[in-house]
Amino acid sequence: MNMKTTILTVVLALSSLCAIAQENIDGVTGASQQSKKKEKLEKALSRLSLGGYGEAVMTRNFYSQSFNRYKTPENYADDKSHGRFDLPHICLNIGYDFGKGWTVGTEIEFEHGGNGTAVEIEAEEAGEYEAEVEKGGEVNIEQFWINKAFWDGKFNVKAGEIIVPVGYSNAYHEPNQFFTVYRPEGEATILPNTWHQVGLSLWGRLKDWRYEAQLLSGLNSESFTAENFVHYGATSPYEFKVANNFAGALRIDNYSVRGLRIGLSGYYGYTFRNTLRTPGTKYDGVTGALSIVALDFSLNRWNWIVRGNVDYAHFSDANEISAYNQANWTHHKYQDGNPHHYTNIGSSAVAYAVEAGYDVFSQIAKLKEHNQKLFLFGRFEHYNTMASGTYKSMYKYTKKYRCAFGLNYSPLKQITIKGEYSYRFFDKPNNNGLTSDSPLYQQPYNNEPSISLGVTYTGWFL
């Protein structure tokens, strides 16, 4: 073998060895990169929160659905029953922990299935383009906030679209936190529900106490109504929320007794002039101050769950603002797209309720072992959006009582099937011996029974 052949053989051998070595290195590097990607993905997923809740409901109402049923109740006493299918709330929650105490949370809510619009070509109208409203409902960004935690969560600063935890139903509004098929009726009528606004929150927990203080934009008195009090005041028809006035909210919960939580919450703020219109000097002294105080509790012990709440709200300058709204209604009622109601408003509103349920499956060992639950419950509530005020006598039907009985069956912790019979009723008028043919005789309001079935889920997927 000559020298050239020897050198060529050595070079080829070394090249083969280098190639084999490079393949091994590439294999190790590739495996390492894959491992790092997997580790990075697992770390990201561990910081991600994904969940939500939803409700699907069927209801049969055994009373008239006419909007005039309270004005002339005698005309609707024999109306047929009517049924409804509904998706009251479907919510998707997404959160992420960035580390170093920084977190973000979002909640997108589809009320009554969301809404839908579309542009269609109408064959029956010579091929014109026409915008169609496909269905009712609402889509809301119910939460979008950034939170910074200090001292292991004892103190937090949160800013963005946040829940205003005034009253039980706002602080605890997920389907597994109330027995009824729909959210508790009294609080959901007199207060915004679920109440959410852009604001700043300072909150935390110290031993057995949880606290939260919030700075918010004020509500808008132009959206208050006789039948719903301040329920619509947190919404805005514009692409932004007017914040001429500011308000404050506070909530404190105590957990000292095992299984028992007691909460006290309140709100105060001006509501007049929180709009784009200027009312003029005639209303210089009018503020529309709104004060709310609410006490609620929940007990979960001995296979019982008992919940209750008392809410009282006072609205100043109710007469002046009612007159202002009525004057604006006369002036603006023929304008397209007018978003406000312009009805009389009460000086105060009240709601109270108590519900109790017992888990009968707790007495059946096999079902208890599989963590299945069947609560038989009862509920009573009273609410009045016109508890006091000049116009109280015009809106006697706003004083309502409601009893409900039913069951909540949970085959899994996250799933609850609900069934309920409810009976809404009213005070009987005092006719002082007048006969029904007298012009002063007041017809009694028709009672309003209904049956509802619902299926719900509440839980986190990640």
The verdict on 136 and 70 lying in the same domain is: no
The CATH number for 260's domain is 2.40.160
- Over the stretch 96-144, which tens digit does the pLDDT of each residue have? 999 999 999 999 998 887 766 666 555 544 556 566 566 666 788 899 9
User: Is residue 3 one of the residues assigned to a domain?
Assistant: no
At 357, which amino acid appears?
A: G
Predicted confidence at residue 48, as pLDDT, reads: 92
Domain boundary among 115, 150, 185: 150
**Parent domain of 303:** 53-86+173-460
Out of 12-26, 82-96, 175-189, 245-259, least confident range:
12-26
User: Is residue 161 one of the residues assigned to a domain?
Assistant: no
**pTM for the full predicted model:** 0.85
User: Is residue 391 one of the residues assigned to a domain?
Assistant: yes
Contact assessment for residue 310 and residue 295, using Cβ atoms and an 8 Å cutoff? yes
What is the number of domains present in the chain? 2
Out of 33-42, 113-122, 235-244, least confident range:
113-122
User: Is residue 321 one of the residues assigned to a domain?
Assistant: yes
User: Is residue 8 one of the residues assigned to a domain?
Assistant: no
- Over the stretch 269-307, which tens digit does the pLDDT of each residue have? 999 998 888 887 888 889 999 999 999 999 999 999 999
The verdict on 98 and 213 lying in the same domain is: no
- Over the stretch 81-90, which tens digit does the pLDDT of each residue have? 999 999 999 9
User: Is residue 28 one of the residues assigned to a domain?
Assistant: no
The verdict on 201 and 287 lying in the same domain is: yes
The verdict on 94 and 213 lying in the same domain is: no
The verdict on 98 and 210 lying in the same domain is: no
The verdict on 134 and 94 lying in the same domain is: yes
The verdict on 303 and 407 lying in the same domain is: yes
The verdict on 196 and 241 lying in the same domain is: yes
The verdict on 255 and 404 lying in the same domain is: yes
